[in-house]
Amino acid sequence: MTTITARGPLATTPPVRPGVLTPFTVFVGRSLRHSLRDPEALLMGIVLPTLLMLVFTFVFGGAIGGDSRAYIDYVTPGIILLCAGYGAATTAVAVSRDMTTGTIDRMRTMPVPGVALLVGHTVASLLRNLFSTAVVILVGVLLGFRPAAGPVEWLAAVGLVALWILAITALFAFLGLVAGSAEAASGYGFILLFLPYASSAFVPVATMPSWLRVFAEHQPITPLTESIRALLAGVSPGGDAVAAVLWPLGVLAVALALTAWRFPRTRSRLVH
């Protein structure tokens, strides 16, 4: 006679819940993968910084600074901020493309925070632009740039660059939300890309006409450039440091407020 023993219920492994940061890291990885497959993004990250360093050092350096090798110490901080602006502008285009492909609407059907997509674009832009900053500094060193900064000054300079990248990327992300197309998103950011040219990034403010000097002295790129330039030279940035921190924080606060207002009202603009 065979005895049958009843078995208890099989133990089941509870599903693994994703961490709080998982949706954000997923979208950061998505943006970075798109960048690696995008020739334009690679151009912005590697080729553009190299070309700008070569052009400003050897084409304009002799005329503007008198000595191209001396001028490179002056111009490198400005090129860092200029490249950061170009790199951040690609975020507006990427967000606008997500709007026209229905990504925003699909994301809202998922159990993820609504802003995870924008955070992914912003953090990915920060990482890309910090890489471009490293390229600018490396090319500058190869061309004769000799920073005298210590560890603390380097940390402060990189912190200012990162803060500015974060601020303008958040602003460009908002522009991508409201732009009617990727082309329009790229055009809206022109004014931000113009700012370094009307600042002390490439020439001293004192050499500018009086009307332009007033604008240059009261826009964010000038105190940022002067602070980074001083830090890389190993000296104190003085009063410029306060404005160099407050400007990005102000831009970031405005960008976040505008995005928080606009994002819940945003719907995909499908292109047929």
Q: How confident is the prediction along the chain (272 residues), in pLDDT tens digits per residue?
A: 455 555 555 445 555 455 566 767 777 777 778 777 776 666 766 787 788 888 888 777 666 656 667 788 889 999 999 888 887 888 888 888 877 777 766 766 666 666 777 888 888 888 888 888 898 899 889 988 889 999 999 999 999 999 999 999 999 988 888 887 777 777 777 777 788 888 988 888 988 899 999 999 999 999 999 999 999 999 999 889 999 999 999 999 999 999 888 877 776 655 54
Give the separation between CA 115 and CA 95, rounded to whole angstroms. Answer: 12
Per DSSP, the three-state class of 75 is helix
Claim: this prediction has a pTM higher than 0.85:
no
pLDDT of residue 2: 54
- Can you give the pLDDT at residue 166? 93
Strands (E), the chain: none
What pLDDT is attached to residue 18? 56
Angle between helix 116-143 and 68-100 (nearest 10): 160
Q: Give the integer Cα–Cα distance in Å for 155 and 141.
A: 18
Cα angle at 128 between 140 and 226, to 5 degrees?
50
* pLDDT value of residue 116: 76
